[in-house]
Amino acid sequence: MLISKPRHRIAAALASAVLGLTLLTGCSDDVSCGLDQCTVTVQRETNAKVEVLGVEAKFISADDNTVTLDVAGEQIQLTKGQQAVEVGGLTFSLSSVTPDDVKIEVSR
């Protein structure tokens, strides 16, 4: 059965909307999500953790420019202004580090 072009476009739009909602449901209170990227805010406290897009990230330590996380069982270091790190099927980059929290950009 062939689908006409207008119906094909509607089906594609609906599929994109469902995918977007699926990505958003993977976010928790410490996460602000768009369709293909989330901003994760992790408090600089011991054992802070957040789940984003089905992957758990645990805060381990931070200094002025570098953050160490445990993501999906793998320890990674993110440095402000440096290239993103891919782990668990997601890409992580450090957005900012303050005395109170750490902001990390996560994308698929």
Block mean pLDDT (10 aa), the chain, length 108: 45 37 45 84 75 83 90 93 91 92 90
Write down the pLDDT at residue 74: 94
Nearest 5°: the CA angle 13, 16, 20 is: 140
Q: Is the whole model's pTM more than 0.75, yes or no?
A: no
Write down the pLDDT at residue 95: 93
Write down the pLDDT at residue 48: 75
| Pairwise CA distance, residues 15 & 78, whole Å | 33
| Max CA pair span of the chain | 60
Tokens of 78: 């993110």
Closest CA to 57 of 44, 40, 32: 40
Tokens of 32: 């602000």
| Pairwise CA distance, residues 78 & 99, whole Å | 16
Distances, alpha carbon 64 to alpha carbons 68, 94, 107, in Å: 12, 11, 23
Write down the pLDDT at residue 104: 92
Tokens of 65: 């420019």
